[in-house]
Amino acid sequence: MTATIDSERTGPAPSPAFLSDTWYLTGRKLHALVRQPVMLVMGVAQPAIWLFLFGDLFHKIIDIPGFAYQGSYLAYLIPGIVAMNAMSSNMWAGMSMIEEIDRGTLNRFLVTPASRLAIMNAAVAEQAVSTTAQTLIIVVLGYAGGARYPGGAAGIAVLIAASILVGVLWGGLSNMTGMLLRSREAIIGVYSFFMLPLMFLSSAFIPPAFMPGWMRAIASRNPLNWEVQIGRDALLANPDWSAIAIRSGGLLALAVIAVAISVTTFRSYAKNV
């Protein structure tokens, strides 16, 4: 990949250009994020409401025999709410892509020698930063609500890493949808269609042991569920690191594929604006 990047730019310093372009373009995005923190907070508001609504409403189901979770139902919900937030906030990635196309900002970058890959990288980096901040907000809110994390800092770090992977996965798919269909409605339609089924076909609210067989079968193949499981395992006192590693590997592979697809879509977009 480095070869194509270098050939994009001719000049005194071809190779660092890719890195410096990524740096400056990411800086632009983060600047905007810091200036409008309300966007970040708004994004996390709905999942947070779910956390407390569900946590309180169903707090007794933790007592059902076979639930097998040491801790409050609120604590049980945290990884699910983190996953939900990572998915719903990053759905907006494609919208900001459409906005930049409509405004002409993307074209302005495309007529400069800036690395094409850097333009996409900046989007992914911003997703990673904002998802990290939102995940931390949920963790802190959960703590304030009485949830405890026996897994400690390491567990929270793994939870954040998994949420970034899911965020990048959904952000990449959202970018692709945005560039291909150029329609905000299409993005909203596609993602609200998938959102709730994927949530309920995961262990976000209920352990897989309580699910009918067919649901369990789907859940075990649901990437969102992998993230929930990774987060929940990691927050335990004695995490099963091998299970975490396997699921993380799966998520990482999917995230890489999603980014690759969105980069390919972007390249073909950039060739014929």
Partner 1 sequence: MHAIEAHGLVKIYPAPGKNPRIRALDGLDLIVEPGTIFALVGPNGAGKTTTVKILTTLATADQGTATVEGIDVRADPAGARRVIGVVGQRSGADPTATGRENLILQGHLYGQPTKAAKDRAAELLERFDLTDAAGRFVRTYSGGMQRRLDVALGLVHRPKVLFLDEPTTGLDPEARTAMWDEITRLAASDKVTVLLTTHYLDEADRLADRLAIVDRGRVVAEGEPDQLKRDLAVSSLDEVYLRHAGRRYSDAIRVTEAAGR
Nearest of 175, 247, 195 to residue 85 by alpha carbon: 195
Please tell me whether residue 220 binds partner 1 under the rule CB under 8 A: no
Query: First CA to last CA across the chain, in angstroms?
Result: 23
- Contact predicate 139/45, CB 8 Å: no
Please tell me whether residue 11 binds partner 1 under the rule CB under 8 A: yes
What DSSP designation does 72 have? Answer: -
Q: Pick the stretch among 108-116, 143-151, 182-190, 257-265 that binds partner 1 (CB under 8 A).
A: 108-116
Q: Among 2, 4, 15, 32, indicate the residue that binds partner 1 (CB under 8 A).
A: 32
Residue count at the site for partner 1 (CB under 8 A)?
34
Please tell me whether residue 28 binds partner 1 under the rule CB under 8 A: yes
Please tell me whether residue 112 binds partner 1 under the rule CB under 8 A: yes
**Could you give the dihedral angle defined by the CA atoms of residues 33, 36, 37 and 39, in that order, rounded to the nearest 10 degrees?**
-90
Please tell me whether residue 38 binds partner 1 under the rule CB under 8 A: no
Please tell me whether residue 107 binds partner 1 under the rule CB under 8 A: yes
d(CA 5, CA 112): 14
Q: Pick the stretch among 17-25, 149-157, 218-226, 235-243 that binds partner 1 (CB under 8 A).
A: 17-25
Please tell me whether residue 5 binds partner 1 under the rule CB under 8 A: no
- Crossing angle between the packed helical segments 116-144 and 93-103, to the nearest 10 degrees: 140
- Least distance to partner 1, CB of residue 248, Å: 34
Nearest of 160, 14, 3, 133 to residue 78 by alpha carbon: 160
Q: In the complex, which residues of this chain contact partner 1 (CB under 8 A)? A: 7-13, 17, 20-21, 24-25, 27-28, 31-32, 35-36, 102-105, 107-114, 270-273
